Chain A
């Protein structure tokens, strides 16, 4: 399965989503998470590497109603 990015909306909370990124590691995960936390519209941002032998990152982002989690990720990545 060779996708780069997959996104799922969380059912129970509003404006919350889980983004799965393939073939990346802490190098990108940590700095995007730090950047997401600097954004004032982001309520929750975290990442984890599910297993060290697999290069997958799961980002969990929750935002206020101003923007969507995907939008916040895109802004963080652009800057």
Chain B
């Protein structure tokens, strides 16, 4: 929530409020704070569910003055800062010309991303599935060395390696990008080698996932992943308990 007292900048009020809402705040202490709707104080606000900031900047110089997150002053406790590592990285809020000023009061609350995307601590989250590559030894024995080498070279990411004694080996499971080049390699060689379709099989492992998480700086990625798993467990636990009650009623 933002209360603006004086604004003579080039950006209008809602614009500034929107920009302030998107600022990432360091949330490592957010665990102890309550959601606004669950807090004991009602909705009036207290130290446990809100952090209050003030911003008061006036440009008395001739040049352009920048208002950054460094100028946000925290009122009550010093736990929750906007995320900036040093003076150079402070996030720009607005630029002031001559004799323009900005005075406002901002309240930061805790909430989830479903309400508004500004509360999501993650910028990008992607996942991949580990490939399981298995090579059929019998078919490999029927191939000549040239064929094996051409097969190994058909993979664009070099997941396979050929050693004279051991045959085809998979160097690194995760390099495979499922392009299926190795499977298409056998298409035109059906008359030369028997059962060439069974040479290699690439499947997705059913229980290994590789998550790629990039955060906005509010929380470190390990915390986010750990927290999300714990929350998921909690939700499942709630449903489990509810089912137990319903089961009792049914008997």
Interface residues of chain A, those whose CB is within 8 Å of chain B, are 4-7, 9, 19, 21, 24, 27-28, 31-32, 70, 73-74, 77-78
Contacts and interface: CB of A to CB of B under 8 A. Distances in A.
A4 B250 contact: no
Nearest to B236: A77
Given A77-B240, A78-B240, A24 B246 contact: no
Contacts of B238: 4
A19 B243 contact: yes
B164 interface: no
Nearest to B247: A70
Interface in B230-251: 232, 235-240, 242-247, 250
Contacts of A31: 232
Given A5-B246, A70-B247, 16 more contacts: A4-B242, A5-B239, A5-B242, A7-B250, A9-B250, A19-B243, A21-B239, A28-B232, A31-B232, A70-B246, A70-B250, A74-B240, A74-B244, A74-B247, A77-B240, A77-B243
B197 to A, nearest CB: 29
A5 B244 CA distance: 10
B74 to A, nearest CB: 34
A3 B243 CA distance: 11
Contacts of B240: 74, 77-78
Nearest to B240: A77
Contacts of A19: 243
A77 B239 contact: yes
B177 to A, nearest CB: 25
A30 to B, nearest CB: 12
Given A74-B240, A77-B240, A78-B240, A6 B235 contact: no
17 contacts: A4-B242, A5-B239, A5-B246, A6-B246, A7-B247, A9-B250, A19-B243, A24-B235, A24-B239, A27-B232, A31-B232, A70-B243, A73-B243, A74-B243, A74-B244, A77-B240, A77-B243
Nearest to B249: A7
A55 B83 CA distance: 35
A28 B239 contact: yes
Lowest 7 A-B CB distances belong to which pairs? Answer: A5-B242, A4-B242, A77-B240, A77-B236, A7-B246, A70-B247, A5-B246
Contacts of A74: 240, 243-244, 247
A4 B236 CA distance: 12
B246 to A, nearest CB: 5
Interface in B206-251: 232, 235-240, 242-247, 250
A28 B236 contact: yes
A34 B236 CA distance: 14
